[in-house]
Amino acid sequence: MSVDLLVPRTVTRRVKIAVAAAGISSFALLYAPQPVLPQLANQFHLDPGGASLAVSVATGALAITVLPIAALSEIIGRRPVIVTSVVTSVVLGLLLPLAPSYPVLLTVRALQGIAIAGFPGVAAAYLVERLGRRGVAAAVGAMIAGNSVGGMLGRLSSGFTAEALGWRGALVAVAIIALICSLLTVLTLPPSTPPEREEGGFPTDSPQQTSLPAVSSGGGELRSVLRGVGAAVRKPVLLAQYTVAMLVMGSFVAMYNASVFRLTGEPLDLSPAVASLVFLAYAIGSVSSATAGKLVARFGRLRSVVWALVVTALGVALTLPDSLPLVVLGIVVLTGGFFAVHAVANGWTAAEAPEGARGQASGTYTLTYYLGSSVGGTAGSIIYGHAGWPWLVLTTICWLVIAMVVELVTAAASKA
């Protein structure tokens, strides 16, 4: 039976500040190049698909390394991985504007994606171990808020400064913001400490109480982790959520990548600073995520996720006319729908994960989520560059319809 740690409020406060700052730093750096994709295309003579690789290689590298880094944290500890993650990603962010060629820039971005993976791959496990299950909820909220703020802040900062400073100066501006946040994380993140013990001598928050089993105590534990991975990919309802995560995130990033080209090009012809205001729509995510939880409680997961997918598709369709108000409204609607889908699918994954495989299921969901960002974001940009916005709209709606079908068929099969 698990027992919660008694954690002083000052420690809890330090943890919340540290993970929020780490989230801002990590996700500001991850998405900073998105608003300056047109400038990168002009600088290096690229089409939208080629320019979108500046985002996709980082999210792809994050996707394929998040699970290995999470396993590494079992051996060397959570805090060293988090600190190394935020520091290394900032250093690479400061070096990124110095890239003399596009291949070098992509290489640095891939390394940055690997570095960033250390935070989302390890943070939840660190919070459970450091605060116990009772204290983790508020800290997770602070972490998610930091992730959302970072994603929006990175996009807005680079978008607003790109016209005056160029894309290189814009990326430096984001890196400086991330540097301040990373220093805050390094200074406030409490060190790893041995778990407190009860009177009987047993740890009050042993590794068995967390969602990620330890791998440092021998081959038996490693085999347990691998069995958990197998369990996480055998259950049909979990496979459905992984598929939805990939398709919906791919649709979302594809639309956002291409939107910066459309908004700054003919006939809308906005300045980069004005066009970057569209990223304020990202703030709707916190509202729709919270609303999704209430919808699940009232209507169930299946109805909630299907209707959220419908809303996302409706938002995509609204962007079709060459009307700035409709394009902006469509982006706001699809953003709200996307975050609702993500909240429901992510929660569904956690609820349906087999005992002893929750960490592996969560890690697999994260992998497919960012893999969708990488593959879908690039594919969508290529489609936009070669066929235009209407074909991108049609493609992303098809992806969303496939996601709906997957959920409905899986639910029907589970009842049969």
Tokens of 151: 């994603």
Task: Give the per-residue pLDDT at 223.
Answer: 60
Residue with tokens 């430096």: 172
- Of 288, 273, 278, give the one whose Cα is nearest residue 319: 278
Q: From start to end of 218-294, where are the E strands?
A: none
Backbone angles phi, psi at 205, to 5 degrees: -145, 65
Domains of the chain: 8-192 (1.20.1250.20), 227-416 (1.20.1250.20)
- Residue 126 DSSP SS3: helix
106-132: b (≥16 Cβ within 10 Å) or e: bebbbbbbbbbbbbbbbbbbbbbbbbb
The distance of Cα 310 from the centroid of its chain, to the nearest Å, equals 22
Per-residue pLDDT tens listing for the chain (416 residues)? 344 556 677 877 888 888 889 989 999 999 999 999 999 999 999 999 999 999 999 999 999 998 888 778 777 888 899 999 999 999 999 999 999 999 999 999 999 999 999 888 788 778 777 776 565 556 665 677 677 888 888 989 998 898 889 999 999 999 999 999 999 999 999 876 544 443 433 333 333 333 343 434 445 555 655 665 666 677 888 899 999 999 999 999 999 999 989 998 889 888 888 888 888 888 887 778 777 778 888 888 899 999 999 999 999 999 999 999 999 999 999 999 998 898 888 878 877 777 666 667 777 888 899 999 999 999 999 999 999 999 999 999 999 999 999 999 998 887 76
Res 356: pLDDT: 65
Residue keyed to tokens 């919270």 = 290
Looking at residue 173, its pLDDT comes to 95
Report DSSP state, residue 86. Answer: H
Q: Answer left, alpha or beta for residue 2, where phi above 0 means left and psi between -120 and 50 means alpha.
A: beta
At residue 197, what are phi and psi to the nearest 5 degrees?
Answer: -120, 150
What is the identity of the amino acid at 385?
Answer: G
Looking at residue 291, what is its pLDDT? 79
Name the β-bridge partners of 197.
Answer: 203
For 261, the token pair is 């080209």
Q: How far is CA 394 from the centre of its chain?
A: 25
pLDDT tens-digit series, residues 44-94: 999 999 999 999 999 999 999 988 887 787 778 888 999 999 999 999 999
Q: Cβ(139)–Cβ(131) under 8 Å?
A: yes
pLDDT, residue 210, reads 36
Q: SS3 for 349-394, per residue?
A: HHHHCCCCCHHHHHHHHHHHHHHHHHHHHHHHHHHHHHHCHHHHHH
Residue the block writes with tokens 């299907």? 306
Residue 199: its pLDDT value, please? 40
Distances (CA, A) of 119 to 109, 135, 152: 16, 19, 18
Distances (CA, A) of 67 to 61, 141, 212, 368: 11, 22, 11, 11
